[in-house]
């Protein structure tokens, strides 16, 4: 009987050791306060993303690469965002948007090809030179369509250990284990060309006057 008890205890210990450990969500999910001192400004390249509703996947996987550039504005409560998404191999979409920030949340309105979409964002502490944002996409009546989770890096590269941390953070935020990895063939930055075109148009108008 004693021998059987020892065997049972050893088997139980083996099962416990094999059981996957739950992530410590208190440590993994710490809000990043958005203020003038937050290290979120500059260019970020999307590395990996996730979604929590099946209907959101089709929109996400059409984007083969993506980058954003965040900068402060004259309004302390507003962040300026320039974004560029590559769709497939040939097409690039890019534009400007302003995000109204409050505490750890942001509210952004995008106007793309005449279509308007609304997004509420949250930011969390993550790996060095990384930016982790949770994006809730809103319908016109401002009800939720679902959530995305985006992990950007300064270079687009990510260490395997940092990817594992992202997956644990996604689990803590109740995202299913499904991911879309972005490529590194980025859209060019057309801001300078757009600014030059605007200046030429203004100069031509002044000449005609």
* CATH of residue 164: 2.40.128.20
What pLDDT is attached to residue 188?
Answer: 92
pLDDT on residue 13:
44
Is residue 3 assigned to a domain? no
Tell me the per-residue pLDDT of 22-58, one tens digit each, with 9 for 90 and over. 668 999 999 887 665 566 889 999 999 999 988 888 8
Question: Is 84 a domain residue?
Answer: yes
User: Within a domain: residue 18?
Assistant: no
Q: How far does the chain reach from its first CA to its final CA, in angstroms? A: 104
Q: What is the CA radius of gyration of the chain?
A: 22
Look at residue 20 and tell me whether its pLDDT is greater than 70. no
Q: Are the CB atoms for 136 and 107 separated by under 8 Å?
A: no
Query: Is residue 24, in this structure, part of any structural domain at all?
Result: no
Within-domain flag for 209: no
Query: Quick one: which H or E segment has residue 181?
Result: strand 180-181
Domain assignment present for 169: yes
User: How far from the centroid of its chain's Cα atoms is residue 123's Cα?
Assistant: 9
- Domain assignment present for 159: yes
pTM for the structure as a whole? 0.76
Domain span at 109: 33-185
- Interval 140-163 mean pLDDT: 89
Number of domains in the chain: 1
CA distance 135 to 153: 17
pLDDT of residue 193: 54
Encode pLDDT of 111-125 as tens digits: 554 556 778 888 899
């Amino acid at each position: 009987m004693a021998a059987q008890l020892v065997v049972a205890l050893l088997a139980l210990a083996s099962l416990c050791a094999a059981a996957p450990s739950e992530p410590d969500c208190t440590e993994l999910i710490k809000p990043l306060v958005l203020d003038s001192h937050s290290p979120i400004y500059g260019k970020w390249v999307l590395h990996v993303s996730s979604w929590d509703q099946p209907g959101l996947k089709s929109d996400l996987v059409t984007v083969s690469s993506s980058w954003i550039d965040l900068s402060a504005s004259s309004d302390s409560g507003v962040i300026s965002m320039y974004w560029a998404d590559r769709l497939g191999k040939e097409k690039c979409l890019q534009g400007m948007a302003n995000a109204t920030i409050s505490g750890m949340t942001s509210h952004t309105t995008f106007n793309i090809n005449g279509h308007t979409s609304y997004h509420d964002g949250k930011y969390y502490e993550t790996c060095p030179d990384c930016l982790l944002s949770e994006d809730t996409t809103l319908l016109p009546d401002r009800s939720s369509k679902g959530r995305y989770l985006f992990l950007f890096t300064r270079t687009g590269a990510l260490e395997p250990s940092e990817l594992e941390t992202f997956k644990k953070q996604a689990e803590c935020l109740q995202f299913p284990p499904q991911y879309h990895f972005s490529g590194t063939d980025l859209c060019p930055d057309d801001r300078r060309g757009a600014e030059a075109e605007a200046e030429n148009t203004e100069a031509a108008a002044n000449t005609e006057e």
